[in-house]
Structure 1
Amino acid sequence: MKNIRKSMIANVGMMAAVAAVGSVGLTGCATAAGTSGNDALKIGVTVANSTNPFFQQETKTAESYGKEVGAEVLSQVANEDVQTQSNQIDQFITAGVSFIVIDAADTDGVGPAVKRAINAGIPVIGVDNQSKNATVNITTDNTQAGEISCQSLADQLGGKGKVAILNGTPVSAVDDRVKGCKSVLEKYPDIEIVADQRGENSRDSALPIATDILTANPDIAGFFAINDPSAVGVQLAAQQKGVSIVITSVDGASSATDVIAAGGLITATAAQDPAALVRQAIDLGISITKGEEPKETLLLVPTELVDASNVAKYTPWD
């Protein structure tokens, strides 16, 4: 597993949200014929939603990389509904998949369905968010991502001022980012967290929440958003209110890095790599089906802060 970790760290950034094509029914993608040893390989993939670019990249990578390894990929999207995702896992079991890759809509909520898959002899690989009962989880080091993003926020504010956290859905990636952020901000007695509100990890969800926070706290100086789409929503709210604030986030998507490069309100993002995570998950799933048990059940991949100092050299994953 040390080699696994090294290969993952070699990729810039990592992990957290990317959606998919497909409805509740199973959707297969064409297989690459003739790949030695993998002709009967079938992979079930389910991600949290179809609107977040992170989840979109996960699904796209699973389908394309699945073809490369000669597998059939059954691709699903849960629309942020744990029951839908649990049903999808049950469908994968019925379909007799070789293993399942899941970006959970709810870390704990998917646990019973994941356990059913494990009991059926089907390995489950969690990516981005941890999935309870999974064989192994491969995620961004989300605590570290929150730490470096909020360290940047604190530095830019000179260690003082009112800030807010645009939180997200109850999954491990989100909770760990917020935990990492707060662990940094609590070191600054002159920084006050005036709001910590959950959204749905999207621009449209973040916009009204941020608007309400800005209205209640007109002297707010900064925001930490748990992902780049949420950061974009916060920026729109600030622009509509005519205020200048500092916004930092997590993801490394072009929606944030383009703003950073242009000198906008989003000033830093902790970069992940969803494609690298999914490729590693599939490689690990294949090795498990061949009888190679993972030595670790949780693999954490560190992120890299992208800000004005290095954005010109950074290539976003979307």
Structure 2
Amino acid sequence: MTKQIFGAAFGRRAFMSGAAALAASAALWPKAMRAQAADRNFAAALGWTTYDSGRHLQDGFTAAVAELGGNLTTTDAGFDARVQSDQIDSLVASRPDALFITPADAVAIAPAVQRAIAAGIPVFCADSAVPGATVTTTSMSNNFGMGVHSCEFICKAIGGTGKIARVMLPQNESWDQRTLGMEWVLRSYPGVEIVTEWAFALAGNVTPRQAVDNILTSNPDIDAVWCAWDGAAVEGTLAARAAGRDDLILTGIDGGSQAFNYIASDTPLKLSMAQSFYEMAYSNVFYAHEALAGRKAPRLLITPTYAVVKDMLQAGIPDDYDVPGRGAELGWTRAV
């Protein structure tokens, strides 16, 4: 377990004006509350810190604690639900004032989350809801809406008729909502046919790259591949290039510099539903302070998602788009 205690010095992302605007409300707190906030001990059981999503979540927690006050202890489960459950139990034993969680597998860690709540620890989740656990606040994207928007993009791009494949992410209820959103859209496009599909398994032996390789070998005439997350879309883009299918259309969900670079470079990856991971984490910390100060916190907070295409990246690849307020500065508007 790695312990990180953040004081006055913190990264450049914390200086962004959008984050400062959200944190500004803390300046209105009575001095006694601000003094108490500085002494609060927080813990974060992170399901992962890899990829752009994990990095942005970690950055959001780090900057928010640095700005709003307190100390932060973090753990990283590396996508292993058993490890994360053990880490949650260990963090609970240290009696933090609040516990932040980004679920590696929301169903699998639900018992550990319930134990934390039963121990009297306020729990705040980012990215995914934990079924059966009454946490204080969950900050996440509209997963169903992201599935709707990305599938609509494909259906329009192929003229409402064609063959598509899909790569799904059924690991938890939140992520599976993306597939349900995709299916909802297809009800309005009877000319679009799903000819094959593949569901990713964390413990499986097949990578998304291998899956899309197989899809293109078996179905060389498909028009598009809908992917439930950007990792699959990026690997699928590599498969498309290897197969000489530069005309293929791929979409993903997550956002971040890797996907943005592929989109900006005229590859088959044409769209990323860019989630506000940084804001999810930042809002968790903000509302932990609010709840601990005796004020209300929302049960569910839906953070912005941007439908990022090439035209939005002409001025460069923004790594800070999900800092609160930064999307507006870029001229982006939330899609869902």
Same fold (TM over 0.5): yes
1:252 aligns with 2:255: yes
What is the correspondence of 1:56-67 to structure 2 with a 5 Å cutoff? Answer: 56-67=55-66
Distance between the aligned counterparts of 1:159 and 1:316, measured in 2? 34
Distance between the aligned counterparts of 1:86 and 1:290, measured in 2? 28
Shift of residue 32, structure 1, vs aligned partner:
4.3
Distance between the aligned counterparts of 1:199 and 1:156, measured in 2? 25
Instruction: Give CA-to-partner distance per residue, 1:112-135, whole Å, 9 cap, x none.
Output: 111111111111111111123122
Distance between the aligned counterparts of 1:172 and 1:31, measured in 2? 37
- Whether the 8 Å contact between 2:145 and 2:178 is mirrored in structure 1 is yes
What is the correspondence of 1:298-317 to structure 2 with a 5 Å cutoff? Answer: 298-312=300-314, 315-317=318-320
2:128 maps to which residue?
129
**Aligned letter for 1:182?**
E
Distance between the aligned counterparts of 1:205 and 1:286, measured in 2? 41
2:280 maps to which residue?
277
C-alpha distance 80-231 of structure 1, shift in aligned 2 (>3 A) = same
Distance between the aligned counterparts of 2:138 and 2:44, measured in 1? 14
Paired residues in the alignment total 291
Distance between the aligned counterparts of 2:310 and 2:2, measured in 1? 43
**Aligned letter for 1:105?**
A
1:54 aligns with 2:53: yes
What is the correspondence of 1:1-318 to structure 2 with a 5 Å cutoff? Answer: 25-32=1-8, 36-132=35-131, 133=133, 134-199=135-200, 205-243=207-245, 244-294=247-297, 296-312=298-314, 315-317=318-320
Q: Give the TM-score normalised by structure 1.
A: 0.85
Distance between the aligned counterparts of 2:211 and 2:225, measured in 1? 12
Distance between the aligned counterparts of 2:46 and 2:275, measured in 1? 16
Distance between the aligned counterparts of 1:79 and 1:169, measured in 2? 18
- Whether the 8 Å contact between 1:32 and 1:71 is mirrored in structure 2 is no
1:6 maps to which residue?
none
Shift of residue 200, structure 1, vs aligned partner:
5.7
C-alpha distance 169-43 of structure 1, shift in aligned 2 (>3 A) = farther
SS of 1:62's partner is helix
Distance between the aligned counterparts of 1:290 and 1:205, measured in 2? 46
- Whether the 8 Å contact between 1:254 and 1:317 is mirrored in structure 2 is no
Shift of residue 26, structure 1, vs aligned partner:
4.4
Could you say which structure has the larger radius of gyration? 2
- Whether the 8 Å contact between 1:144 and 1:303 is mirrored in structure 2 is no
Please state which structure has a larger fraction of its residues in helix.
2
Gaps of 5+ in 1: 1-24
2:16 maps to which residue?
none
SS of 2:96's partner is coil
Distance between the aligned counterparts of 2:145 and 2:319, measured in 1? 19
C-alpha distance 258-138 of structure 1, shift in aligned 2 (>3 A) = same
Distance between the aligned counterparts of 1:177 and 1:242, measured in 2? 28
- Whether the 8 Å contact between 2:140 and 2:280 is mirrored in structure 1 is yes
SS of 2:106's partner is coil
SS of 1:224's partner is strand
- Of structures 1 and 2, the one with the larger relative CO (CA 8 A, separation 6+) is 1
C-alpha distance 311-186 of structure 1, shift in aligned 2 (>3 A) = farther
**Aligned letter for 2:190?**
P
C-alpha distance 70-297 of structure 1, shift in aligned 2 (>3 A) = closer
Gaps of 5+ in 2: 10-30, 322-336
Shift of residue 174, structure 1, vs aligned partner:
1.7
- Whether the 8 Å contact between 2:171 and 2:201 is mirrored in structure 1 is no
**Aligned letter for 2:318?**
T
Shift of residue 302, structure 1, vs aligned partner:
4.1
**Aligned letter for 2:121?**
I
Percent identity for Structure 1 against Structure 2: 26
Aligned-CA RMSD value: 2.2
**Aligned letter for 2:232?**
S
Shift of residue 194, structure 1, vs aligned partner:
2.1
Distance between the aligned counterparts of 1:176 and 1:266, measured in 2? 22
C-alpha distance 50-169 of structure 1, shift in aligned 2 (>3 A) = farther
Distance between the aligned counterparts of 2:305 and 2:111, measured in 1? 30
